[in-house]
Structure 1
């Protein structure tokens, strides 16, 4: 039996691949089983000045993602003998990665693409996993798709269950049991009762905050000391009747040396007579140094370095040029506060896991953003899917 803890990008595809190939699989999910339209109710709250976007529910943060699918960290993984070329091809076909049809590129996004191109920037449509035939272009991607038009890890979880896997939701893992110094069981609490599952292998896919908490509480060292979380702000202003609030979000992409930009709607403090339909905004996202820490109780600390702020400032300035080129009134341009997304690096490869993602404890693996060696500064979902496919193939051969 293989126990998978977490049902996000890593856990979902692992369960699917293993169950469809005849393995006995049990999935433990801390959060509830929900429909995508209800995902906005499952955002995590960290407090203490940390604004980090993540969810605890079926499919993890994929359920509130924009379904952006870009390759990342290829060179970095080559240093560990990992080549994900074939795995990328497999998962890209599996989830249907493609640039959106022109029918789903709205007025605001097209203005963004044209303005960025006129400024000589590296611009393209964002590769996504969205089914245009189902998408109603409502702009609610980050709240959970109301019509289930985008891929999420829930798709794979449901397929795994159909193939015979067991799914247990609202199950909080409290401990991993060792037998002769090897992982052999998982304790979890459900409905206030403690349960134990005996198993042959355990794969931690609980995310870059929860995974290190579990490992720390087992007594492993060097865990959770190098947290990154892809800082971002959203910069925008007034552009009458752009109607960007009802478009598919983040359908365009500008790649800078130290940042990426993508159209992303956010509300700002405008005068009362400014409506959402008259706002256009751009997300500015950068890689950051791993100067964060996750404590054993889940408390998160993060420090911003001078380089982090410099990269963010470069991106904000570029976004301002694009906005003005689009026709946004420069007097109205403003920014959200500093936030984070895509936490990772808290059980990174080379330190906590080997190239097969196994920890120092035999039969205990980690396969989520925790293992990423550095901040990608871009959505890591596709990379996690490829890593997970590689791990599934390794376990099946083993």
Structure 2
């Protein structure tokens, strides 16, 4: 049986491993360790916050090792998951189909989405779990003809306890994440190596022979007949570049900016993340409690239960890059204009809620949906394989997206990874 190495255990890697195990012998290499939900008491951390000890977002890794925070040269905050399940464990659990850009290239993922809908419990009816504040925001958006829609969720939200910790790792197992696909793959015989950071792909005579990885203090060669890179939009391009495979400076990151206000008893910190969304041409709006801003942005000085926020998630320009040293990403003029448009719309919504416009404050711009540095083209619609790659090397994550979705990408990444796996099996 041919050996396949899958690099990364997030959305793309787990979907590929689950699909391929059986026809191939799959080994999943994960740079992080077993995932554990955030366990600290938020009330204790709020007290620590008042001491001024929290001053840099990268400190979050000291209390929550599964969340990795990096900063660009101009100090934009970049967030990713490092651990089994990748960023899916830290996501809001959104199940949005966002493949219009791929369809424009001639890539049909209908069968793969249908397969995902059969495999994963997806909840669309969760309004009975919404707080009064969320219900009121939803009604205001309807009154403004913004067409708000509940966001489909990965998991069984009837069991949701409204702890507000979706993006810190669901402690009650309500939210589905890619570890469920990994378990299915392991039950069929797949192997797993954690705390194993892949450095580069080993290529000889135009063919991949395996990968070189750092495991503790040792550098180990893992042989394979086929390699799938699904380490995420920040890490996959670095592995490719370390392997002398050129990427494009087309990094997008889906920047997030929250508009917040003091609203006593809003209890948004006890709401599950992103219950509904307003879709605009270049961004979405959604209720979202931003923990990074709450702990590290000095403007966020009110107690968590009294802070009401709306999030803007932007489909940013594809102008950036990442290498083994740093992430280079700046917002373009048009990005800033669109963000400001979103800010004004959020202020209008919150004003109708009853909050004075001079009471608003902004969050820290942060981002966590990177991709785009090896974008698919129309010529690759059938193979899903870039010509720069050896024939037995594939990429199966958001690195392939031709442009920013400006929306949660998990379901679309998994559908693309399944399609790639079918091509490999064929």
TM-score by length of 1: 0.93
Give the Å deviation of 1:368.
Answer: 0.4
Provide structure 1 residue ranges, at least 5 long, that are not aligned to the other structure.
none
Shift of 1:354: 6.3
Q: Out of 81, 87, 96, which is 2:121 matched to? A: 96
Aligned length: 392
Q: Residues 183-202 of structure 1: matches in 2 within 5 Å? A: 183-202=208-227
Structure 2: 5+ residue runs without aligned partners? 40-60
Contact 1:108 1:244 in 2 (8 A): yes
Q: 5 Å matches for 1:1-398?
A: 1-19=3-21, 21-37=22-38, 40-47=64-71, 48=73, 49-74=75-100, 76-221=101-246, 223-266=247-290, 267=294, 269=298, 274-295=302-323, 297-350=324-377, 355-359=382-386, 360-396=389-425, 398=426
The CA distance in 2 between the partners of 1:165 and 1:353, in whole Å, is 29
Contact persistence 2:105–2:378 (CA under 8 A): no
Residue 239 (structure 1) shift: 1.8
> What's the CA shift for 1:275?
2.6
Change (3 A) 1:336 1:271: closer
Which secondary structure does the structure 2 equivalent of 1:312 belong to? helix
User: How far apart, CA to CA, are the structure 2 residues paired with 1:292 and 1:260?
Assistant: 22
Residues 93-129 of structure 1 deviation map (CA, whole Å, 9 limit, x = unaligned): 3222232423312222111111100111121111111
CA deviations 1:149-190 (Å, max 9, x no partner) are 101111111221111000000001122122331112112121
Aligned-pair CA distance for 1:341: 2.2
Q: Is the 8 A contact 2:254 2:313 kept in 1?
A: yes
State the distance in 2 between where 1:271 and 1:193 align: 44
For the Cα contact (< 8 Å) 1:353–1:366, is it kept in 2? no
Q: CA offset at residue 56 of structure 1? A: 1.3
Distance 1:69 1:300 in 2: 28
- The Cα offsets for residues 270-308 of structure 1, whole Å up to 9 and x where unpaired, read as 696x4321211010111111111112x141011211110
Q: Shift in Å at residue 355 of structure 1?
A: 4.4
Q: 1:377 to 1:86 in 2, by over 3 A?
A: same
Deviates more, 1:348-357 or 1:121-130: 348-357
Cα deviation 1:197-242 (Å, max 9, x = unaligned): 2211100001111111111111112x14110111120001122212
